[in-house]
């Protein structure tokens, strides 16, 4: 259920709404259990149900209120070396969130599946209903686009460097 929550949070950006979406998707999956092919992995099937439910919620939300949101997961704060390093880490996290949000929907989805949900290439291929080779090429294009957006973001790369070092 943790993977489902992360997926919902990445789409909805709200912890409470994400928990509700997971519960509703689980109820829908239970109701549709006779359509599940037990020879196939469960998560890709469940992810499609969850994603469709989250997209429905987003459509409803847009009708009610039009507002911007930033895609970022709250990260637990461990030991911070200094206030400056904590501020820098937060700004870099926001830069990543902005860059991911600026990607096209198909590139954003594949980045989120692989890097935020740790989905395997096989799972991504099942979710997106495409061959693994297509997953690999889309992921390559998505990473390249993300890197270009991060390089262009001064919060990530103040002097044209990524992480303080020229790449």
Q: Is residue 160 pLDDT above 50, yes or no?
A: no
- pTM value is 0.57
Distance CA 165, CA 163 (A): 6
Whether residues 18 and 51 fall in one domain: yes
Whether residues 56 and 9 fall in one domain: yes
Looking at the domain assignment, is residue 24 inside a domain? yes
Looking at the domain assignment, is residue 79 inside a domain? no
Provide the residue range defining the domain that includes 141.
Answer: 87-152
Whether residues 148 and 115 fall in one domain: yes
Among 15, 33, 64, the domain-final residue is: 64
Whether residues 57 and 92 fall in one domain: no
Whether residues 51 and 94 fall in one domain: no
Looking at the domain assignment, is residue 6 inside a domain? yes
Looking at the domain assignment, is residue 80 inside a domain? no
Q: Domain with 139 in it: what CATH number?
A: 1.10.10.10
Domain count, the chain: 2
Please report the DSSP string for 127-154 in residue order: HHTS-HHHHHHHHHHHHHHHHHHHHH-T
Whether residues 146 and 98 fall in one domain: yes
Looking at the domain assignment, is residue 71 inside a domain? no
By the 10 Å C-beta count (0-12 exposed, 13-18 middle, 19+ buried), 99 is classed as buried
- pLDDT bracket for residue 139 (50, 70, 90): very high
Q: Is residue 123 pLDDT above 80, yes or no?
A: yes
Distance CA 13, CA 166 (A): 33
Least confident interval from 17-21, 116-120, 140-144: 116-120
Q: Domain with 35 in it: what CATH number?
A: 1.10.1740
Looking at the domain assignment, is residue 12 inside a domain? yes
Looking at the domain assignment, is residue 47 inside a domain? yes
The string of pLDDT tens digits covering residues 144-154 is 999 998 888 77
């Amino acid at each position: 259920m943790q993977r489902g929550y992360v997926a919902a949070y990445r789409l909805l950006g709200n912890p409470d709404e994400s928990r509700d979406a997971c519960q509703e998707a689980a109820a829908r999956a239970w109701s549709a259990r006779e359509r599940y092919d037990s020879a196939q992995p469960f998560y890709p099937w469940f992810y499609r149900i969850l994603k469709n439910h989250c997209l429905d919620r987003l459509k409803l939300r847009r009708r009610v209120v039009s507002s911007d949101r930033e895609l970022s997961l709250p990260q637990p704060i461990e030991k911070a070396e200094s206030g400056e390093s904590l501020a820098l880490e937060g700004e870099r996290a926001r830069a990543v969130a902005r860059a991911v949000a600026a990607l096209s929907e198909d590139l954003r989805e594949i980045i989120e599946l692989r890097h935020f949900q740790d989905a395997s290439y096989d799972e991504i291929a099942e979710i997106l209903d495409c061959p693994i080779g297509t997953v690999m090429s889309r992921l390559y294009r998505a990473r390249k686009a993300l890197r270009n957006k991060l390089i262009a973001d001064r919060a990530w790369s103040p002097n044209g460097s990524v992480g303080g070092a020229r790449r």
